[in-house]
Structures are given as C-alpha cells and as structure tokens.
Chain A
C-alpha cells in the first residue's frame, strides 16, 4: 500500500565535487530543485529557469538530460562537453558535478553598495 507522499520514482545520488555535498534527486526533478528543497547550498541558486546562468556546472560522471538553457550562458560546444545549468539538468543515473557558476559573487565583499 502506498504511503501518501511516497514516490515510486527512482532516486539518484548527486555529488558535488567541490564541497563533497551529496543529495538525492528523484527522476524528473531538476538537480538544483532537489538540492534547494533539502537546504543544500553547494550550487548557486538563481532563477531556476535556465536564464541567469549562476547554476552552471560540469557533469564529470553520469547520464542526464537537459531542458532549454540560455545560449548566453551555455554554448553549443560547452553543452556537448558536459556543461549544463543545474536548474535544467535531470539525472538518469548517479551524477558527479563540478560547480562553474558565479558562486564567488555571493561571498565577495561589496565595495560600492550593490557591486
């Protein structure tokens, strides 16, 4: 019998190489969504729509598919080479990722108000 809220979907393990952070991501869920839902912070989180580019990662290992991503942030060559936006990245196996996005901007001290 099904427990309410339980999911029969397969879950994959996502490992962020930079921080060693590991979390589960159900099939059909974008990696960034799975991470933020669990309170993870290893990948910078922004628009969740493939438009802003802050969640850019390189997939070092594993199978996946992606939804539309802004060409401003991921070129066709990069895409072919395993670069993706984590908010548009759906795992099809366990994944190992390296963060390429603009994490440094979030921690760098601002000198002039907003920049």
Chain B
C-alpha cells in the first residue's frame, strides 16, 4: 500500500544531444522512447519500468516535475482525498497524460515543486532479464548507473519572514504520503529550525531530500551504484570526458552514502550514490545533525562546505 519509490523526474535540458550523450554515454542510461514533442525517455539497466528520466528540450535548466509510483491503483483515490483534506489542490490526470502511464494525480508540494503519483507505467524489464540473470549486463556504458535513486529539492527557507518550506513539505510528506523521516538538520539559536530533511518509503535512508535555500529548485538527481569502487570508476569516466565535477568522490555523514556531485551539460546537478547506507524502517529513530556539525554531515571527511553545494542549483 502507498508510495513505493521514485518513479521519474522530468528534467529540462538546453541541448538534447549533449544531454543524451551525458546520460547515455557517461552515466550509462538506456534510451527507451521518444515523443512528438522531442522529449526523450531513459532508464537504468537495473530498472524494469520504461523510464525514470524524461529529458525535456527547453530554453532553461531545472526540473519540471517529479513522480512517485504507488503500489495500487486504488491508492490514487485514497491519496487524492488525503491531499485535498490537508488543503492542497489536487488534479486528476487521465491515463496517457504521463507518457505511457496509467491515470495519475498531480499537486504541488508546499515547497512549490510539482509532484505526480501514478500506479502503472509501461514495462520494459531489466537489461539482464528475469530468468537466470547475469549480475550485470555486458554492454554497460560509462558509470553504468543502476537506477534513479532520489532527488534533493531546494525549498525556500527564510526564518526572518517566517517561511520554512522544508518543515512544511516534510510535514506534508510524513502526514499525507506516509514518508518516514530518516535524518534532519536543525539550525537557529535553539535548534528550532528544521533546515534539511531526508525521507524514505523504501528501506534506504532517502527517496527524497529537502534542503533550505533562498528559492525553490532542483539541487540534484542521484543515481545508484553498488559500491565505492564503482564511484571511483564513475569519476574516472567523468575525468576522461571532461564532465564538470562539483565534489570528488567522498562520504556523506548523512545517509552514509559514497558520493560524487557533478553537472550535466545544462548545469543540472547529478550525483552517483553508492551503498544502501543502512536499513531504514518506520520505527527507526530519526537522526539529527546539529548546525555546528552540519558540514560534517554533508561531507564527512573534511567537514566543510565543498564545491558550490548551497549556492548553485537549477
């Protein structure tokens, strides 16, 4: 019952050929479809639904919308009611309006980001099949990412004006969509400001993350890799191909993931994220990072801001 996992992100790109080269040859995603509007649909080799990423040719970068997959069609009715009862406007979307998906519902998170929930999407299957599969496919390209793992959304945080969209959106995700809180950053004189959160529906520490900033946007999309050595190899590919790396391979304190931050050719930040972190469960006590240890949480080794983490996003 309920939300299973991240379904897809609809991402704006400035040049579709450059974007495809990045997501296919460098990250190792597979093109599965195109539509008349010029959108291109991609999946990771380990994913079974037709796509987890939509590349939308545009004159600007950033995210159009994010979609999560629910287990049962009837979940959509239940969520429609709960979302409306919480005071958020929700629309019904006919089957097919989300490319090759069944009916869906659409609403804006309190942060302003557009979200869809859907229950069905065209099935393609994993590259290794489902009968006596090999552990990985032979024709893997670049980093060979397994799947779209999570997204981090920037939410407006302006305590002087009493605006905290991190807190509001976190409350919505927990109370209405039944997400669980894995970790949070608290800030302010008495730690009363919830400045960032990591929430899950799967058994990994996050399926979505929210961080406070001056304006809403997309901080990054993260793709899953098995382990640390895959992260190193992914960085080797990026070095060879001249990808703009924001933060070289290292460890997050928060979620314990091994990470690289880098940018796609339109300036959208990506992450390759390895390791399942830890077993996240509904009864796990949420972890809190205090403001003085915030950067240790984000970049565990140096404990300092690295790259352009908070000032640069699309």
Q: Which A residues form the contact surface with B (CB < 8 A)? A: 44-52, 54, 67-73, 87, 102, 105-106, 111-115
Contact = CB atoms under 8 A, between A and B. Distances in A.
B235 interface: no
B193 A48 contact: no
A104 B20 CA distance: 34
B216 interface: no
Given A47-B269, A49-B266, A49-B267, A114 B61 contact: no
A113 B266 contact: no
Contacts of A69: 14
A52 B212 CA distance: 17
Interface stretch (B34-42, B139-147, B306-314): B306-314
B244 interface: yes
Contacts of A47: 61, 244, 246, 263, 267-269, 308, 312, 314
Interface residues of B, number: 37
Interface string B240-273: 0000101000000000000000011111110000
Contacts of B196: 113-114
A75 to B, nearest CB: 11
B263 A102 contact: no
B195 A112 contact: yes
A80 B214 CA distance: 28
Nearest to B265: A49
A115 B163 CA distance: 12
Contact of A112 (B157, B263, B265): B157
B249 to A, nearest CB: 19
A94 to B, nearest CB: 25
Nearest to A73: B60
B167 to A, nearest CB: 12
B270 to A, nearest CB: 10
Given A51-B14, A114-B213, A115-B213, 6 more contacts: A47-B267, A49-B265, A51-B263, A54-B312, A68-B15, A68-B59
B310 A114 contact: yes
B195 A70 contact: no
Contacts of A112: 157, 159, 187-188, 193, 195, 212, 291
A70 B61 CA distance: 6
14 contacts: A47-B263, A47-B267, A47-B269, A47-B308, A51-B62, A51-B267, A67-B15, A68-B59, A71-B59, A72-B62, A113-B186, A114-B212, A114-B294, A115-B195
Given A71-B60, A72-B61, A72-B62, A52 B314 contact: yes
Given A49-B14, A102-B311, A113-B294, A70 B157 contact: no
A36 to B, nearest CB: 9
Given A70-B14, A112-B212, A114-B212, A51 B310 contact: no
B308 A45 contact: yes
A52 to B, nearest CB: 5
Nearest to A68: B14
Q: Give the interface centre of B14, B196, B246 by most chain A CB atoms within 10 Å.
A: B14
- Please list the 10 inter-chain residue pairs (A to B) with the smallest Cβ-Cβ separation, ordered nearest first: A51-B267, A51-B61, A49-B267, A47-B267, A113-B187, A46-B312, A48-B244, A68-B14, A113-B195, A70-B60
B185 interface: yes
Given A68-B15, A112-B193, A51 B294 contact: no
A44 B308 CA distance: 9
A77 to B, nearest CB: 14
A115 B212 contact: yes
A50 B61 contact: yes
B148 interface: no
B263 A49 contact: yes
Q: Give the interface centre of B61, B158, B193 by most chain A CB atoms within 10 Å.
A: B61
Nearest to A45: B308
